Amino acid sequence: MNDAQERIYAAIAAIPPGRVASYGAIAARAGLPGRARLVGRLLGEVPEGMTLPWFRVLRASGEVALPRGSRGFREQCRLLKAEGVEVKNGRVPLSRFGLDADVDRALWGMPGF
């Protein structure tokens, strides 16, 4: 495993329960901005025996990237909901459940205030 792979897998592993991150955010946190597709590819190539919270990684829009109605789509939605993440029509509100939601809230306050 090379350094980039290790950093991406570490960034995914660091997503806490009840939070989500986009492919692009993971790439940026791994020091590889603009490499969102690499994150997606590596999620499909997780080494044998490595367990990652793959289901916490979404598109930049907050949408589940797997095809709607597929077994993987249903499983990802189920796992997210089990952690208390709101999933509606395959989409998660990143403003509430994204990794940076607390930082935004601390800096800018709650929406509507």
Residues 6 or more apart whose Cβ sits within 8 Å of residue 98: 19, 20, 21, 22, 25, 62, 92
- Residue-wise pLDDT for 61-93, tens only, equals 999 999 999 999 999 999 999 999 999 999 999
- Residue-wise pLDDT for 8-60, tens only, equals 999 999 999 999 999 999 999 999 999 999 999 999 999 999 999 999 999 99
Q: Which CATH architecture has domain 3-108?
A: Orthogonal Bundle (1.10)
- Prediction pTM value: 0.87
- What pLDDT is recorded for position 113? 40
Q: What is the DSSP letter of 99?
A: T
| Maximum Cα interatomic distance, the chain, rounded to a whole number of Å | 48
d(CA 48, CA 63): 27
